[in-house]
Amino acid sequence: MKRFVLLVAVLLLVVPVFGTVAQDQTIVEVAAGNADFSTLVQLVETAGLVDTLKGAGPFTVFAPTNDAFAALPAPVVEYLTSEAGKDTLTRILTYHVVPGKVMSADVASGEVASVEGNPISITVGDAGVQVENANVVTADVEASNGVIHVIDAVILPDIELPAVDPLSVEGDIVTAGSSTVFPLTEAVAARFGDEGYTGTVTVDSIGTGAGFERFCVNGETDISNASRAIRQEEVDACAALNPPRTPIEFRVGTDGLAVVVSGENDFVQDVTTDELRAIFSTVQNWSDVRPEWPNEPIQRFIPGTDSGTFDYFVEEIFDEDEAPILASSNLQLSEDDNVLVQGVESSPYAVGFFGYAYYQAEGDRLRAVAIEGVTPNAESVESGDYALARPLFIYSDAGILAAKPQVGAFINFYLTHADEEAANVGYFPSSAFALNLAKLNLLAALPAGM
Protein backbone atom coordinates (compact mmCIF):
# COMPACT_ATOMS: atom_id res chain seq x y z
CA MET A 1 0.00 0.00 0.00
CA LYS A 2 1.29 3.44 -0.90
CA ARG A 3 1.65 5.63 2.15
CA PHE A 4 0.17 9.06 2.54
CA VAL A 5 2.55 12.32 3.63
CA LEU A 6 1.72 14.99 6.06
CA LEU A 7 -0.53 17.80 6.75
CA VAL A 8 -0.55 17.80 10.50
CA ALA A 9 -0.45 21.57 10.82
CA VAL A 10 -3.66 21.97 8.84
CA LEU A 11 -5.46 18.98 10.30
CA LEU A 12 -4.78 20.00 13.89
CA LEU A 13 -6.66 23.24 13.27
CA VAL A 14 -9.90 21.27 12.81
CA VAL A 15 -12.06 20.82 15.90
CA PRO A 16 -12.78 17.10 16.34
CA VAL A 17 -16.44 16.07 16.31
CA PHE A 18 -15.82 13.04 18.46
CA GLY A 19 -14.64 14.57 21.72
CA THR A 20 -12.81 12.14 23.96
CA VAL A 21 -12.70 8.63 22.51
CA ALA A 22 -11.84 5.49 24.39
CA GLN A 23 -9.20 3.72 22.33
CA ASP A 24 -10.44 0.34 23.52
CA GLN A 25 -13.51 0.82 21.27
CA THR A 26 -13.62 -0.51 17.72
CA ILE A 27 -14.20 1.73 14.72
CA VAL A 28 -17.88 0.76 14.61
CA GLU A 29 -18.30 1.44 18.33
CA VAL A 30 -16.61 4.83 18.04
CA ALA A 31 -18.89 5.81 15.12
CA ALA A 32 -21.98 4.50 16.88
CA GLY A 33 -21.18 6.72 19.85
CA ASN A 34 -21.48 9.89 17.77
CA ALA A 35 -24.83 11.14 16.46
CA ASP A 36 -23.22 12.65 13.36
CA PHE A 37 -22.54 9.15 12.04
CA SER A 38 -25.92 7.50 12.53
CA THR A 39 -26.46 7.16 8.75
CA LEU A 40 -23.04 5.57 8.27
CA VAL A 41 -23.63 3.11 11.10
CA GLN A 42 -27.07 2.23 9.73
CA LEU A 43 -25.65 1.58 6.27
CA VAL A 44 -22.82 -0.52 7.69
CA GLU A 45 -25.45 -2.63 9.45
CA THR A 46 -27.56 -2.90 6.27
CA ALA A 47 -24.53 -4.07 4.29
CA GLY A 48 -23.62 -6.64 6.95
CA LEU A 49 -20.20 -5.11 7.56
CA VAL A 50 -20.41 -4.60 11.33
CA ASP A 51 -18.47 -7.73 12.22
CA THR A 52 -15.86 -6.92 9.58
CA LEU A 53 -15.21 -3.44 10.96
CA LYS A 54 -15.15 -4.83 14.49
CA GLY A 55 -12.40 -7.22 13.42
CA ALA A 56 -8.75 -6.99 14.33
CA GLY A 57 -7.85 -4.84 11.35
CA PRO A 58 -6.19 -2.46 11.51
CA PHE A 59 -8.30 -0.27 9.20
CA THR A 60 -8.29 3.35 8.13
CA VAL A 61 -11.83 4.60 7.56
CA PHE A 62 -12.76 7.79 5.73
CA ALA A 63 -16.09 8.36 7.44
CA PRO A 64 -18.76 10.56 5.80
CA THR A 65 -21.03 12.51 8.13
CA ASN A 66 -24.83 12.39 8.08
CA ASP A 67 -24.79 15.63 6.05
CA ALA A 68 -22.53 13.97 3.48
CA PHE A 69 -25.02 11.14 2.94
CA ALA A 70 -27.93 13.62 2.93
CA ALA A 71 -26.32 15.34 -0.06
CA LEU A 72 -26.95 12.21 -2.15
CA PRO A 73 -30.30 12.10 -3.98
CA ALA A 74 -32.92 10.43 -1.78
CA PRO A 75 -33.78 7.78 -4.42
CA VAL A 76 -30.12 6.74 -4.50
CA VAL A 77 -30.04 6.18 -0.74
CA GLU A 78 -33.33 4.25 -0.99
CA TYR A 79 -31.83 2.10 -3.74
CA LEU A 80 -28.67 1.40 -1.76
CA THR A 81 -30.68 0.24 1.25
CA SER A 82 -32.83 -2.06 -0.88
CA GLU A 83 -32.03 -5.69 -1.63
CA ALA A 84 -31.26 -4.75 -5.24
CA GLY A 85 -28.67 -2.20 -4.16
CA LYS A 86 -27.00 -4.13 -1.35
CA ASP A 87 -23.97 -5.22 -3.37
CA THR A 88 -23.42 -1.67 -4.60
CA LEU A 89 -23.76 -0.36 -1.05
CA THR A 90 -21.13 -2.82 0.13
CA ARG A 91 -18.76 -1.66 -2.61
CA ILE A 92 -19.29 2.00 -1.71
CA LEU A 93 -18.72 1.45 2.01
CA THR A 94 -15.61 -0.68 1.54
CA TYR A 95 -14.29 1.99 -0.84
CA HIS A 96 -14.08 4.23 2.23
CA VAL A 97 -11.79 1.75 3.98
CA VAL A 98 -8.03 1.35 3.56
CA PRO A 99 -6.15 -1.62 5.05
CA GLY A 100 -3.69 -0.60 7.75
CA LYS A 101 -3.65 2.27 10.21
CA VAL A 102 -2.72 5.48 8.39
CA MET A 103 -2.33 8.54 10.61
CA SER A 104 -2.24 12.14 9.39
CA ALA A 105 1.54 12.23 9.73
CA ASP A 106 1.68 9.59 6.98
CA VAL A 107 -0.56 11.36 4.49
CA ALA A 108 0.76 12.11 0.96
CA SER A 109 -0.63 12.91 -2.46
CA GLY A 110 -1.13 9.85 -4.62
CA GLU A 111 -3.30 6.77 -4.82
CA VAL A 112 -3.94 4.14 -2.19
CA ALA A 113 -5.73 0.81 -2.55
CA SER A 114 -9.11 0.56 -0.87
CA VAL A 115 -10.59 -2.59 0.62
CA GLU A 116 -13.14 -2.46 -2.22
CA GLY A 117 -10.32 -2.75 -4.74
CA ASN A 118 -10.47 0.55 -6.60
CA PRO A 119 -7.71 3.06 -5.81
CA ILE A 120 -8.54 6.19 -3.81
CA SER A 121 -6.94 9.45 -4.95
CA ILE A 122 -5.43 11.58 -2.18
CA THR A 123 -4.48 15.22 -2.73
CA VAL A 124 -2.49 17.23 -0.18
CA GLY A 125 -2.61 20.99 -0.62
CA ASP A 126 -2.52 24.29 1.23
CA ALA A 127 -6.22 24.01 2.04
CA GLY A 128 -5.95 20.53 3.54
CA VAL A 129 -6.33 16.93 2.47
CA GLN A 130 -8.79 15.93 -0.23
CA VAL A 131 -9.92 12.33 -0.62
CA GLU A 132 -11.39 12.03 -4.13
CA ASN A 133 -14.18 14.66 -4.08
CA ALA A 134 -14.27 14.94 -0.26
CA ASN A 135 -12.31 17.02 2.24
CA VAL A 136 -10.88 15.66 5.49
CA VAL A 137 -12.47 17.76 8.23
CA THR A 138 -11.26 15.84 11.30
CA ALA A 139 -8.26 13.53 11.42
CA ASP A 140 -6.70 10.86 13.66
CA VAL A 141 -9.73 9.64 15.62
CA GLU A 142 -8.11 6.48 16.98
CA ALA A 143 -9.90 3.22 17.75
CA SER A 144 -8.69 -0.14 19.01
CA ASN A 145 -8.58 -1.55 15.47
CA GLY A 146 -7.58 1.47 13.43
CA VAL A 147 -8.23 5.14 12.84
CA ILE A 148 -11.06 7.31 11.48
CA HIS A 149 -10.65 10.42 9.32
CA VAL A 150 -13.91 12.34 8.95
CA ILE A 151 -14.82 13.54 5.43
CA ASP A 152 -17.51 15.94 4.23
CA ALA A 153 -18.76 13.97 1.20
CA VAL A 154 -19.41 10.41 0.12
CA ILE A 155 -16.80 9.04 -2.29
CA LEU A 156 -17.74 6.57 -5.00
CA PRO A 157 -15.91 3.69 -6.67
CA ASP A 158 -16.53 2.93 -10.34
CA ILE A 159 -20.23 2.08 -10.55
CA GLU A 160 -21.10 -0.77 -12.87
CA LEU A 161 -24.22 -0.64 -15.05
CA PRO A 162 -25.83 -3.75 -16.54
CA ALA A 163 -24.58 -4.42 -20.05
CA VAL A 164 -26.78 -3.14 -22.90
CA ASP A 165 -27.01 -4.88 -26.28
CA PRO A 166 -28.26 -2.26 -28.78
CA LEU A 167 -29.37 -5.08 -31.10
CA SER A 168 -32.01 -6.12 -28.58
CA VAL A 169 -33.41 -2.62 -27.95
CA GLU A 170 -36.73 -1.80 -29.61
CA GLY A 171 -38.80 1.39 -29.79
CA ASP A 172 -38.06 5.01 -30.62
CA ILE A 173 -36.59 7.70 -28.34
CA VAL A 174 -37.32 11.44 -28.41
CA THR A 175 -34.84 13.99 -27.03
CA ALA A 176 -34.69 17.78 -27.28
CA GLY A 177 -33.01 20.74 -25.62
CA SER A 178 -29.61 22.36 -25.39
CA SER A 179 -27.74 23.11 -28.59
CA THR A 180 -24.54 22.63 -26.60
CA VAL A 181 -25.46 19.10 -25.55
CA PHE A 182 -26.88 18.38 -29.00
CA PRO A 183 -23.61 17.18 -30.61
CA LEU A 184 -22.88 14.89 -27.66
CA THR A 185 -26.33 13.29 -27.64
CA GLU A 186 -26.22 13.05 -31.42
CA ALA A 187 -22.84 11.29 -31.27
CA VAL A 188 -24.08 8.80 -28.67
CA ALA A 189 -27.22 8.16 -30.72
CA ALA A 190 -25.13 7.51 -33.82
CA ARG A 191 -22.95 5.08 -31.91
CA PHE A 192 -26.05 3.35 -30.50
CA GLY A 193 -27.19 2.81 -34.08
CA ASP A 194 -23.77 1.71 -35.28
CA GLU A 195 -23.76 -1.00 -32.62
CA GLY A 196 -27.11 -2.42 -33.66
CA TYR A 197 -30.04 -0.28 -32.50
CA THR A 198 -32.62 -0.15 -35.30
CA GLY A 199 -35.03 2.38 -33.82
CA THR A 200 -34.92 6.16 -34.15
CA VAL A 201 -33.38 8.61 -31.69
CA THR A 202 -34.76 12.07 -32.41
CA VAL A 203 -32.38 14.80 -31.22
CA ASP A 204 -33.78 18.34 -31.55
CA SER A 205 -31.55 21.35 -30.87
CA ILE A 206 -33.94 23.95 -29.49
CA GLY A 207 -32.18 25.35 -26.41
CA THR A 208 -32.23 24.25 -22.78
CA GLY A 209 -35.28 26.26 -21.76
CA ALA A 210 -37.33 25.13 -24.75
CA GLY A 211 -36.22 21.57 -24.07
CA PHE A 212 -37.50 21.71 -20.50
CA GLU A 213 -40.77 23.16 -21.82
CA ARG A 214 -41.25 20.17 -24.08
CA PHE A 215 -40.30 17.81 -21.28
CA CYS A 216 -42.07 19.42 -18.31
CA VAL A 217 -44.92 21.46 -19.80
CA ASN A 218 -45.93 19.49 -22.86
CA GLY A 219 -44.68 16.05 -21.76
CA GLU A 220 -43.58 15.34 -25.32
CA THR A 221 -39.99 14.15 -24.93
CA ASP A 222 -38.31 11.23 -23.19
CA ILE A 223 -35.02 13.01 -22.49
CA SER A 224 -34.24 16.69 -22.04
CA ASN A 225 -30.74 17.88 -22.98
CA ALA A 226 -29.55 20.73 -20.76
CA SER A 227 -26.50 22.93 -20.41
CA ARG A 228 -27.63 24.08 -16.96
CA ALA A 229 -29.34 22.48 -14.00
CA ILE A 230 -33.12 22.36 -14.05
CA ARG A 231 -34.88 25.25 -12.30
CA GLN A 232 -37.47 24.88 -9.58
CA GLU A 233 -40.27 26.29 -11.74
CA GLU A 234 -39.45 23.64 -14.35
CA VAL A 235 -39.50 20.91 -11.70
CA ASP A 236 -42.90 22.24 -10.58
CA ALA A 237 -44.17 22.15 -14.17
CA CYS A 238 -43.07 18.50 -14.45
CA ALA A 239 -44.94 17.70 -11.23
CA ALA A 240 -48.12 19.26 -12.64
CA LEU A 241 -48.23 16.88 -15.62
CA ASN A 242 -50.65 13.98 -15.70
CA PRO A 243 -49.03 11.62 -14.94
CA PRO A 244 -46.51 13.73 -13.05
CA ARG A 245 -42.82 13.60 -13.89
CA THR A 246 -39.92 13.84 -11.44
CA PRO A 247 -36.83 14.90 -13.38
CA ILE A 248 -33.74 12.78 -12.78
CA GLU A 249 -30.41 14.42 -13.49
CA PHE A 250 -27.58 12.67 -15.33
CA ARG A 251 -24.27 14.53 -15.71
CA VAL A 252 -22.80 13.58 -19.10
CA GLY A 253 -19.87 15.94 -19.62
CA THR A 254 -18.36 19.37 -19.20
CA ASP A 255 -18.15 22.19 -21.70
CA GLY A 256 -14.88 24.12 -21.70
CA LEU A 257 -14.37 26.60 -24.51
CA ALA A 258 -10.84 27.72 -25.30
CA VAL A 259 -10.26 31.30 -26.43
CA VAL A 260 -7.16 30.98 -28.58
CA VAL A 261 -4.58 33.00 -30.45
CA SER A 262 -1.82 31.94 -32.81
CA GLY A 263 1.36 30.51 -31.36
CA GLU A 264 3.06 33.51 -33.02
CA ASN A 265 1.04 35.94 -30.89
CA ASP A 266 3.38 37.20 -28.16
CA PHE A 267 1.19 39.89 -26.58
CA VAL A 268 -2.14 38.40 -25.47
CA GLN A 269 -1.66 36.27 -22.38
CA ASP A 270 -4.64 37.02 -20.15
CA VAL A 271 -7.88 38.97 -20.60
CA THR A 272 -10.73 40.06 -18.38
CA THR A 273 -14.29 39.20 -19.31
CA ASP A 274 -14.86 42.87 -20.21
CA GLU A 275 -11.87 42.76 -22.56
CA LEU A 276 -13.13 39.50 -24.03
CA ARG A 277 -16.46 41.18 -24.71
CA ALA A 278 -14.67 44.02 -26.48
CA ILE A 279 -12.40 41.73 -28.50
CA PHE A 280 -15.38 39.93 -29.97
CA SER A 281 -17.57 42.98 -30.63
CA THR A 282 -17.01 46.70 -31.04
CA VAL A 283 -13.28 47.34 -31.12
CA GLN A 284 -11.35 47.42 -34.39
CA ASN A 285 -7.70 47.03 -33.43
CA TRP A 286 -5.85 45.23 -30.66
CA SER A 287 -4.60 48.59 -29.38
CA ASP A 288 -8.24 49.58 -28.76
CA VAL A 289 -8.32 46.90 -26.05
CA ARG A 290 -4.95 47.76 -24.46
CA PRO A 291 -2.78 50.64 -25.70
CA GLU A 292 0.38 48.55 -25.43
CA TRP A 293 -0.99 45.95 -27.85
CA PRO A 294 -0.28 46.27 -31.61
CA ASN A 295 -2.23 48.77 -33.67
CA GLU A 296 -3.38 45.97 -35.95
CA PRO A 297 -6.92 44.87 -36.89
CA ILE A 298 -8.38 42.00 -34.86
CA GLN A 299 -9.16 39.02 -37.08
CA ARG A 300 -12.02 36.98 -35.59
CA PHE A 301 -12.80 33.31 -36.25
CA ILE A 302 -15.90 31.96 -34.49
CA PRO A 303 -18.39 29.09 -34.80
CA GLY A 304 -21.48 29.59 -36.93
CA THR A 305 -24.75 30.73 -35.43
CA ASP A 306 -26.21 27.22 -35.60
CA SER A 307 -23.47 25.97 -33.27
CA GLY A 308 -24.07 25.26 -29.61
CA THR A 309 -20.59 26.68 -29.01
CA PHE A 310 -21.71 30.02 -30.47
CA ASP A 311 -24.87 29.95 -28.32
CA TYR A 312 -22.91 29.25 -25.15
CA PHE A 313 -20.36 32.00 -25.77
CA VAL A 314 -23.12 34.50 -26.47
CA GLU A 315 -24.98 33.42 -23.33
CA GLU A 316 -21.93 33.72 -21.09
CA ILE A 317 -20.18 36.79 -22.52
CA PHE A 318 -23.01 38.79 -24.11
CA ASP A 319 -25.94 37.83 -21.88
CA GLU A 320 -27.67 36.08 -24.81
CA ASP A 321 -27.47 39.14 -27.10
CA GLU A 322 -25.79 38.00 -30.32
CA ALA A 323 -25.98 41.39 -32.06
CA PRO A 324 -22.60 42.77 -30.83
CA ILE A 325 -20.56 39.76 -31.88
CA LEU A 326 -22.27 39.49 -35.27
CA ALA A 327 -21.64 43.19 -35.89
CA SER A 328 -17.89 42.93 -35.28
CA SER A 329 -15.44 43.55 -38.11
CA ASN A 330 -13.09 41.03 -39.75
CA LEU A 331 -15.40 38.22 -38.72
CA GLN A 332 -15.40 34.74 -40.22
CA LEU A 333 -17.97 32.17 -39.08
CA SER A 334 -17.78 28.45 -39.79
CA GLU A 335 -19.50 25.31 -38.62
CA ASP A 336 -16.20 23.50 -39.21
CA ASP A 337 -13.87 23.87 -36.22
CA ASN A 338 -10.91 22.92 -38.39
CA VAL A 339 -11.52 26.00 -40.53
CA LEU A 340 -11.45 28.12 -37.36
CA VAL A 341 -8.25 26.45 -36.18
CA GLN A 342 -6.52 27.13 -39.48
CA GLY A 343 -7.76 30.72 -39.52
CA VAL A 344 -6.38 31.52 -36.07
CA GLU A 345 -3.08 29.81 -36.86
CA SER A 346 -2.70 31.91 -40.03
CA SER A 347 -2.05 35.24 -38.30
CA PRO A 348 -0.57 36.57 -35.02
CA TYR A 349 -3.48 39.05 -34.94
CA ALA A 350 -6.22 36.43 -35.14
CA VAL A 351 -8.39 35.18 -32.27
CA GLY A 352 -11.12 32.56 -31.99
CA PHE A 353 -12.91 30.16 -29.70
CA PHE A 354 -13.91 26.53 -29.93
CA GLY A 355 -13.84 23.30 -27.98
CA TYR A 356 -10.74 22.68 -25.91
CA ALA A 357 -10.02 19.42 -27.68
CA TYR A 358 -9.41 21.24 -30.97
CA TYR A 359 -6.93 23.58 -29.29
CA GLN A 360 -5.17 20.73 -27.52
CA ALA A 361 -4.64 18.83 -30.77
CA GLU A 362 -2.71 21.73 -32.31
CA GLY A 363 0.18 21.84 -29.84
CA ASP A 364 2.38 24.96 -30.11
CA ARG A 365 0.55 26.27 -33.16
CA LEU A 366 -2.16 27.68 -30.89
CA ARG A 367 -2.10 29.20 -27.42
CA ALA A 368 -5.03 29.35 -25.02
CA VAL A 369 -5.70 32.74 -23.44
CA ALA A 370 -6.31 32.87 -19.70
CA ILE A 371 -9.55 34.54 -18.61
CA GLU A 372 -9.40 36.45 -15.33
CA GLY A 373 -6.09 34.72 -14.66
CA VAL A 374 -7.40 31.17 -15.15
CA THR A 375 -6.32 28.98 -18.07
CA PRO A 376 -8.55 26.16 -19.34
CA ASN A 377 -7.54 22.68 -18.28
CA ALA A 378 -9.28 19.62 -16.87
CA GLU A 379 -9.02 20.86 -13.27
CA SER A 380 -10.15 24.47 -13.81
CA VAL A 381 -12.99 23.37 -16.08
CA GLU A 382 -14.29 20.72 -13.68
CA SER A 383 -14.03 23.04 -10.66
CA GLY A 384 -15.82 25.84 -12.50
CA ASP A 385 -12.93 28.29 -11.90
CA TYR A 386 -12.55 28.78 -15.64
CA ALA A 387 -15.08 31.35 -16.86
CA LEU A 388 -16.19 29.37 -19.91
CA ALA A 389 -16.89 26.06 -18.19
CA ARG A 390 -20.20 24.48 -17.28
CA PRO A 391 -21.65 21.01 -16.70
CA LEU A 392 -23.72 19.25 -19.33
CA PHE A 393 -26.78 17.18 -18.40
CA ILE A 394 -29.56 15.03 -19.69
CA TYR A 395 -32.80 14.53 -17.73
CA SER A 396 -35.46 11.85 -17.74
CA ASP A 397 -38.06 10.36 -15.37
CA ALA A 398 -38.56 6.98 -13.68
CA GLY A 399 -42.07 6.68 -15.13
CA ILE A 400 -40.67 7.10 -18.63
CA LEU A 401 -38.01 4.47 -17.99
CA ALA A 402 -40.71 2.02 -16.82
CA ALA A 403 -43.02 2.69 -19.76
CA LYS A 404 -40.28 2.84 -22.41
CA PRO A 405 -37.41 0.46 -21.58
CA GLN A 406 -35.53 1.69 -24.65
CA VAL A 407 -35.01 5.05 -22.92
CA GLY A 408 -33.33 3.41 -19.93
CA ALA A 409 -31.19 1.32 -22.27
CA PHE A 410 -30.13 4.42 -24.20
CA ILE A 411 -29.24 6.37 -21.04
CA ASN A 412 -27.29 3.35 -19.82
CA PHE A 413 -25.38 3.30 -23.12
CA TYR A 414 -24.93 7.08 -22.93
CA LEU A 415 -23.37 6.99 -19.46
CA THR A 416 -21.20 4.02 -20.37
CA HIS A 417 -19.63 5.90 -23.29
CA ALA A 418 -20.09 9.52 -22.15
CA ASP A 419 -16.45 10.28 -21.39
CA GLU A 420 -15.21 8.89 -24.70
CA GLU A 421 -17.86 10.63 -26.79
CA ALA A 422 -17.42 13.91 -24.89
CA ALA A 423 -13.76 13.93 -25.91
CA ASN A 424 -14.70 13.03 -29.48
CA VAL A 425 -16.95 16.07 -29.83
CA GLY A 426 -14.56 18.48 -28.09
CA TYR A 427 -15.84 18.53 -24.51
CA PHE A 428 -14.34 17.49 -21.20
CA PRO A 429 -15.53 14.40 -19.37
CA SER A 430 -17.40 14.69 -16.10
CA SER A 431 -15.51 14.07 -12.89
CA ALA A 432 -15.45 10.43 -11.84
CA PHE A 433 -17.76 11.26 -8.94
CA ALA A 434 -20.31 13.06 -11.13
CA LEU A 435 -20.43 10.23 -13.66
CA ASN A 436 -20.70 7.55 -10.99
CA LEU A 437 -23.49 9.50 -9.29
CA ALA A 438 -25.29 9.67 -12.64
CA LYS A 439 -25.00 5.89 -12.91
CA LEU A 440 -26.41 5.51 -9.39
CA ASN A 441 -29.29 7.80 -10.36
CA LEU A 442 -30.04 5.48 -13.25
CA LEU A 443 -29.82 2.31 -11.16
CA ALA A 444 -32.16 3.86 -8.62
CA ALA A 445 -34.68 4.80 -11.33
CA LEU A 446 -34.73 1.60 -13.38
CA PRO A 447 -37.58 -0.84 -12.67
CA ALA A 448 -36.53 -3.94 -10.76
CA GLY A 449 -35.02 -6.59 -12.97
CA MET A 450 -33.78 -4.21 -15.68
DSSP state of 221: -
- How much is the pTM? 0.79
Greater confidence (148 vs 10) lies with: 148
Tens-digit pLDDT profile for residues 393-411: 999 999 999 999 999 999 9
Question: Given pLDDT bands bounded at 50, 70 and 90, which one contains residue 450?
Answer: low
Tens-digit pLDDT profile for residues 192-208: 999 999 999 999 988 88
Out of 23-27, 61-65, 73-77, 286-290, least confident range: 23-27
Q: Are 335 and 179 in contact (CB under 8 A)?
A: no
pLDDT over 70, % of the chain: 94
pLDDT at 232 over 50: yes
Greater confidence (449 vs 432) lies with: 432
Around Cβ 176, how many Cβ atoms within 10 Å? 25
In the predicted model, what is the mean pLDDT of residues 244-272?
95
Question: Given pLDDT bands bounded at 50, 70 and 90, which one contains residue 122?
Answer: very high
Superfamily name and number for 8-151: FAS1 domain (2.30.180.10)
Tell me, what's the pLDDT at 2? 36
**For residue 224, what are the contacts with CB-CB under 8 A and spacing of at least 6?**
175, 176, 177, 211, 212, 214, 215, 216, 230, 247, 394, 395, 396
Question: Given pLDDT bands bounded at 50, 70 and 90, which one contains residue 167?
Answer: very high
Tell me, what's the pLDDT at 24? 79
Strand partners, 249: 395
Comparing CA positions, the residue from 185, 167, 189, 168 lying closest to residue 176 is 185
Query: In whole angstroms, what is the distance from residue 26 CA to residue 320 CA?
Result: 58
Tens-digit pLDDT profile for residues 341-393: 999 999 999 999 987 767 877 888 999 999 999 998 877 887 778 999 888 99
In the chain, what are the domain boundaries? Answer: 8-151, 162-450
Q: Is 414 helix (H, G, I), strand (E, B) or coil?
A: helix
Greater confidence (175 vs 208) lies with: 175
pLDDT at 157 over 50: yes
pLDDT at 23 over 70: no
Query: In whole angstroms, what is the distance from residue 437 CA to residue 215 CA?
Result: 22
pLDDT at 210 over 50: yes
Mean pLDDT of the chain: 89
Tens-digit pLDDT profile for residues 326-339: 999 999 998 788 89
Tell me, what's the pLDDT at 204? 93
Overall fold of domain 162-450:
D-Maltodextrin-Binding Protein; domain 2 (3.40.190)
Q: Are 151 and 31 in contact (CB under 8 A)?
A: no
CA–CA–CA angle 207, 211, 214 (5° rounding): 145
pLDDT at 52 over 50: yes
In the predicted model, what is the mean pLDDT of residues 102-112?
87
In the predicted model, what is the mean pLDDT of residues 44-64?
90
Question: Given pLDDT bands bounded at 50, 70 and 90, which one contains residue 178?
Answer: confident
